[in-house]
Structure 1
Amino acid sequence: MQYTISRQDSYSRGLLILRTLFGSIYIGIPHYFLLFFVSIWGLILQFLAFWAVLFTGTYPRGWFDYQLNLFRWNTRVSASLGNFRDEYPAFGLSATQPGVEVDIEYPEKLSRGLLILRLLFGFIYVWIPHGVCLIFRGIASAVVMFIAWWVQLFTAKYPERMFEFNIGTYRWAFRVNAYSNFMTDSYPRFSGKP
């Protein structure tokens, strides 16, 4: 799995202030409006993919690519709203953005046993332990983001260690979501490291 958002050498202070004041209007509303409808189809495909994996042991390639592109679109929006990238996020499932890379290797075969285990006990062995850790990590990330915002405002730089910590939080959550969506059999690590 790859989840990379590249740190820029310098950031625009004007765009930082614009995103802070109006980002939810000019980035959030149009993207999340469209993502809402695109995600409905994603949920339907996730439901159907469960049955496909259960009976065939494979995740249909087109459905897998759709879900992966949905992750990519969400990541582009998060990268902009989180002040990780200055570029306006591209619209669409097939769009790309410099500095934002999300990829999951397509699995030729998936375990039916793990699929049933995730369905019946995923809440206990995935969501509770990872969720608790991610709640505390998310609180720490919010504090770090607040401090990084001020550093960006005054220096036009995002401190590297703060950047890596915050991207690590997003990366960890991405791994948990990919596992929960039956896109991989690899149990997510308790880490935000690549």
Structure 2
Amino acid sequence: MNDYPVRVDAHRDASLSRWLWLVKWLLLIPHFIVLAVLWIGLLVVTLVAYLAILFTGRYPPALRTYTIGVLRWTWRVGYYGYEALGTDRYPPFTLADVPDYPARFAVAEPEHIPRWLPLLAWLFALPHLILLGALTSAVTWNTPEGYRTSMSVLGAAVLILGLALLFTGRFLDGLHDLLVGIARWQLRVMAYLTLLTPRYPPFRLDQGGMEPPAEPSGPPAAPHY
């Protein structure tokens, strides 16, 4: 059962273009440019939020909304692009939640964030970052012809998914679920590092498009969509 306050959902398209994934990198260039600026803003906002929590114990609501919006936008672009290839629907240019888009991200607002957490969250997150780095960092090797090439486990999985779609028209659901699970793990860790939630992320790869159902225990907290 899952009761972690970060929710990452993905609804795969019923049918996908065989070839569109080959040019998605080009179609996503405008998003990459905007996200580069937004992520610079996110670093500044996170630093300000750390200081605010450290001295006041509160996460400023406007900063929280911005941070959730950037992570939400990043997940939509990743799901359309090369994190899962799960949809051919072009992601919208907005920080707001889009209820009918196939990829969604939400965080339940915590009742309390410890004032000391900004000092240690990065340290507590190191084991997660090491494991995720092993999955997403590229390994470089030399070919017999003398060329250097590199690829990560994540990149190899996306390539296999795309080639299967291109040559057979079949979408490998098991591989898609694995990729969504890795993305879900990454987003949980990012939510913890940005202090959207003080709950330590689980060392668990929850695969599949939908979050596991939560164990019923009183009224659930409303997710911040």
Q: TM-score normalised to the size of structure 2?
A: 0.75
Aligned-partner SS, 1:93: coil
Partner of 1:150: 163
Give secondary structure in 1 for the equivalent of 2:9: strand
Q: Is 2:135 the partner of 1:137?
A: yes
Which residue identity does 2:96 align to in structure 1? S
- Closer/same/farther in 2, CA of residues 95 and 104 from structure 1, 3 Å limit: closer
Shift of 1:114: 2.4
Percent identity among equivalent residues? 28
The 8 Å contact of residues 72 and 101 in structure 1, kept in 2 or not, is answered as yes
Alignment of 1:73-152 (within 5 A): 73-82=73-82, 83-94=85-96, 96=98, 98-118=101-121, 122-123=122-123, 125-127=124-126, 129-138=127-136, 139-152=152-165
1:169 and 1:192 in contact (8 A); partners too: yes
Which piece of structure 1 moves more, 168-177 or 5-14? 5-14
5+ residue gaps, structure 2, are: 1-5, 137-151, 212-225
Q: Tell me, in whole angstroms, the C-alpha distance in 1 between the residues paired with 2:97 and 2:7.
A: 17
Worse overlay, 178-187 or 32-41: 32-41
Tell me the residue number matched to 2:180.
167
Displacement of 1:163: 0.8
For the pair 1:8 / 2:10, whether they are aligned, the reply is no
How much has 1:95 moved relative to structure 2?
A: 5.6
Does 2:55 match 1:55? yes
What displacement does 1:166 show? Answer: 0.5
Tell me: CA distance 1:116–1:72, structure 2 relative to 1, closer, same or farther (3 Å): same
CA positional deviation for 1:117 = 2.1
| Larger Rg, first or second structure (1 or 2) | 2
**Bigger share in helix:** 1
Instruction: Tell me the residue number matched to 2:216.
Output: none
Aligned positions, number? 184
Q: Please provide the CA RMSD for this pair.
A: 1.8
Which ranges of structure 1 fall in alignment gaps of 5 or more residues? Answer: none
| Aligned position for 2:221 | none
2:141 matched to which residue of 1? none
Q: Amino acid of the residue matched to residue 191 of structure 1?
A: R
